[in-house]
Amino acid sequence: MGKCVQCGFCCTRRACCYGEWDAEKKQCAFLTEDMLCAKYGETEIMADTVMPAFGAGCCSALNDWRMKKLQELGEIPADMTYEQYFGYCMIRDIEEQVNDESSTSQ
């Protein structure tokens, strides 16, 4: 699961447990115009979480918003294509899984 960088994708698919679905806008009512969570920091749990959407859409094949956000943040090259980005997501997920397994088996 990737880290949430607040691309807003998840919040236009369904509201998380802190959210409220706006059927007219087809997004969570708390998603701001600049795609941030207006409820962030409101509760103790949310203060520990960048955005409580929990990575649901991070590696969705339909989501190129996160790639654009990572490019804006300078975390991946600006000229990375979506195909390259998707491969990068897969490799990173496998690496994280391997690291998790080796840390729990010690």
70 belongs to the binding site for ligand SF4 (CB under 6 A): no
Stretch that binds ligand SF4, among 56-64, 71-79, 80-88, 92-100 (CB under 6 A): 56-64
Q: Which among 105, 10, 100 is positioned nearest to 54, based on CA atoms?
A: 10
Token digits for 6?
């607040």
Per DSSP, what are the bridge partners of residue 28? 21
**7 interacts with ligand SF4 by CB under 6 A:** yes
Tell me how far, at minimum, the Cβ of 46 lies from ligand SF4, in Å: 8
Tokens of 106: 């010690």
Interatomic CA distance for residues 76 and 84, integer angstroms: 11
Site residues, ligand SF4 (CB under 6 A):
2, 4-11, 15-16, 18-19, 28, 30-31, 37, 39, 51-53, 55-58, 63, 66
